[in-house]
Amino acid sequence: MNPEHLIIFDTTLRDGEQSPGASMTREEKVRIARQLEKMRVDVIEAGFPAASEGDFEAVRAVANAVRNSTVCGLARALERDIDRAGEALRSASSSRIHTFIATSAIHMEKKLRMSPEQVIEQAVKAVQWARRYTDDVEFSPEDAGRSDPDFLCRVLEAVINAGARTLNIPDTVGYSLPDQFGALIRTLRERIPNADKAIFSVHCHNDLGLAVANSISAVLNGARQVECTINGLGERAGNAALEEVVMAVRTRADVFGCTTRIDATQIVPASRLVASITGFAVQPNKAIVGINAFAHESGIHQDGVLKHRETYEIMRAEEVGWSANKMVLGKHSGRNAFRTRLTELGIELASEEAVNAAFVRFKTLADKKHEIFDQDLHALVSDENFDGVPEAYKLVSLKVCSETGEIPRACVVVTVHGEEKSACAEGSGPVDATFKAMEQLAESQTELVLYSVNSITTGTDAQGEVTVRLTKAGRIVNGQGADTDIVVASAIAYLDALNALHLTFERAHPQI
Ligand code: KIV
Ligand code: ZN
């Protein structure tokens, strides 16, 4: 018997973006969406169009850019949300509207203040309304993991009759256990009379570290769509990690009656792209995409792998897109070589000006660092301002004095809305002094909640990739910067975060 198709529904751009501090610009979302399309993801949930003007525009941009994956927009079970989603998705070659309403007693009573009958009525109306825009309508009973299964059966039967093609069962708060969650999927499939008219999907959160286990258990019990995110990004502790679900199904094909159409060699590039855009570094021991995922440290393991790889390896690193840290370009490389390598890496810059600007940065970097690796190129283009929106703050120059026994001091020159300004400050270290000097100029009154430095490649000439997370009045923004001088990288990242604060829109939260 041919294995059935398991639909991979990626929600990095929607639920993933709900990770505090992971907000992305429209252009960043388009870049990630293109990578997801290249990876052959079936459905890309691009955002929640009713949440803000920014979300609406981002979903519209993704719908325009993607041709080979279905593009989905989230909507509460409200006509105005669904209209916004329908409008944002108008130019998609294949579109889906995902509408949801909570079905657990606690959510219905305390949050929605609605009776179960009212919830069923609103769910049915929402699905019917969404069908005005597309035949591909997905319905989610939010907090299904804590909902009464009898009630779930009633709601789901009604929305199938109303035209829902996919029934997504979310474990919204990550409370379920694998056996229990698998049994819930089986029960729903067996008890809902018209269950065969819809595909069962799952959407698991990772509060107990069980999101992937719960998703896998659901697949073993007949779910044929998994909602997941790159690197397991998502609300609170995140969602099921796409790379883990895909590789579990592929590596253990002996136990699954289904396969995905994912091009696994695109997994590591996708993981890198999402990590660099969001600033959420991947932990070294993270399955599949962590830097140590295929590293054998102990002598016994190394010996075994050298004698026969399969003694300790169940997957091949190349299968998921790990390639040698190969040197690709240097200071003698020309514009053509640079452009060709970007294309090979799946990086498309928006305009000729963006390519030129990136090339200038590449040449500057190549003067400081002889070997330019793929990771350097990814970082380099992440620093490009793809939006074409003029940046409020730009670094002109930075001078830092740091000496044993002396207080570190930094002097910065920054353009603020085109006007050059300078300031000097002392700090507990060179980075602290730099940030203090910049804050004197920006007067942003933001709070620094995260500062991290990662080495992009190996060696002391490697670029440091810095992430800065700032918060102000409940809004959280990230900034990134990369340079061989980590103080300069820090300054760039700080200004990048300040620029993001200018660009981000207030957005509603889908679960409110
Ligand atoms: O976790 C959740 O319940 C969701 C829904 C909107 C599907 O993200
Ligand atoms: Zn969710």
Q: Which atom of ligand 1 is nearest the CA belonging to 142?
A: 3
For residue 145 and ligand 1, the question of a CB distance below 6 A is answered with no
Please tell me the residue having the least CA distance from ligand 1 atom 1.
172
Q: Which atom of ligand 1 is nearest the CA belonging to 170?
A: 3
pLDDT value for 306: 80
For residue 100 and ligand 1, the question of a CB distance below 6 A is answered with yes
Please name which ligand lies nearest the alpha carbon of 233.
2
Range in 116-130, 409-423, 492-506 with the lowest mean pLDDT: 492-506
Distance CA 89, CA 83 (A): 10
Q: Which atom of ligand 1 is nearest the CA belonging to 168?
A: 7
For residue 103 and ligand 1, the question of a CB distance below 6 A is answered with no
Is 38 within 8 Å of 263 (Cβ atoms)? yes
* DSSP assignment of 122-180: HHHHHHHHHTTT-S-EEEEEETGGGS-HHHHHHHHHHHHHHT--EEEEEETTS---HHH
If one counts every other C-beta atom within 10 angstroms of the C-beta of residue 428, the result is 10
Distance CA 210, CA 269 (A): 25
For residue 48 and ligand 1, the question of a CB distance below 6 A is answered with no
Range in 63-77, 173-187, 239-253, 453-467 with the lowest mean pLDDT: 453-467
pLDDT value for 375: 72
Strands (E), 341-428: 372-373, 393-401, 409-416, 419-426
For residue 391 and ligand 1, the question of a CB distance below 6 A is answered with no
Q: Which atom of ligand 1 is nearest the CA belonging to 173?
A: 1
Distance CA 99, CA 168 (A): 10
Question: Using 50, 70 and 90 to split pLDDT, how confident is the model at 390?
Answer: low
Helix (H, G, I), strand (E, B) or coil at 8: strand
pLDDT value for 462: 85
Is 195 within 8 Å of 189 (Cβ atoms)? yes
pLDDT tens by residue, 497-507: 898 887 654 55
Distance CA 424, CA 17 (A): 36
Question: Using 50, 70 and 90 to split pLDDT, how confident is the model at 463?
Answer: confident
Query: What's the mean pLDDT in 378-394?
Result: 69
CA–CA distance from 94 to each of 88, 89, 497 (Å)?
12, 9, 35
Residue 383 has pLDDT above 70, yes or no: no
Which amino acid is it at 72? C
For residue 19 and ligand 1, the question of a CB distance below 6 A is answered with no
Question: Using 50, 70 and 90 to split pLDDT, how confident is the model at 474?
Answer: confident
Query: What's the mean pLDDT in 52-80?
Result: 97
Q: 1-10, 40-49, 274-283 — which one is most confidently predicted on average?
A: 40-49
How much distance in Å is there from the Cα of 462 to the middle of ligand 2? Answer: 37
Q: Can you read off the two tokens belonging to residue 16?
A: 């993933």
Q: Which of 214, 227, 247, 268 is nearest to 70 (CA)?
A: 227
Please tell me the residue having the least CA distance from ligand 1 atom 8.
15
pLDDT value for 384: 59
How much distance in Å is there from the Cα of 356 to the middle of ligand 2? Answer: 40
Spatial neighbors of 249 by CB under 8 A, at least 6 apart, are 6, 216, 219, 256, 258, 259, 260
**From 12, 45, 55, 100, mutation site for ligand 1 pocket: most ligand atoms within 8 A of C-beta:** 100
Strand partners, 467: 452, 480
Please tell me the residue having the least CA distance from ligand 1 atom 4.
172
For residue 434 and ligand 1, the question of a CB distance below 6 A is answered with no
pLDDT value for 325: 46
* DSSP assignment of 147-162: S-HHHHHHHHHHHHHH
Residue 77 has pLDDT above 60, yes or no: yes
pLDDT tens by residue, 255-273: 999 999 999 999 999 998 8
Residue 386 has pLDDT above 90, yes or no: no
pLDDT over 90 percentage in the chain:
67
How much distance in Å is there from the Cα of 65 to the middle of ligand 1? Answer: 25
Please name which ligand lies nearest the alpha carbon of 74.
1
For residue 203 and ligand 1, the question of a CB distance below 6 A is answered with yes
If you search the block for the tokens 């709601």, which residue do you land on? 155
**From 15, 48, 227, mutation site for ligand 1 pocket: most ligand atoms within 8 A of C-beta:** 15
Please tell me the residue having the least CA distance from ligand 1 atom 3.
172
pTM (two decimals): 0.83
How much distance in Å is there from the Cα of 285 to the middle of ligand 2? Answer: 24
Distance CA 380, CA 31 (A): 14
Range in 246-255, 339-348, 442-451, 461-470 with the lowest mean pLDDT: 339-348
Is 27 within 8 Å of 387 (Cβ atoms)? yes
Query: What's the mean pLDDT in 2-27?
Result: 90
How far, rounded to the nearest angstrom, does the alpha carbon of residue 402 sit from its chain's CA centroid? 38
* CATH superfamily of this structure's domain 4-278: Aldolase class I (3.20.20.70)
Average pLDDT along the chain: 91
**From 11, 43, 74, mutation site for ligand 1 pocket: most ligand atoms within 8 A of C-beta:** 74
pLDDT value for 500: 81
Fold of 393-501: Double Stranded RNA Binding Domain (3.30.160)
Q: Which atom of ligand 1 is nearest the CA belonging to 227?
A: 7
pLDDT tens by residue, 313-372: 899 999 999 875 455 788 888 888 888 888 877 777 878 888 898 999 899 988 888 788
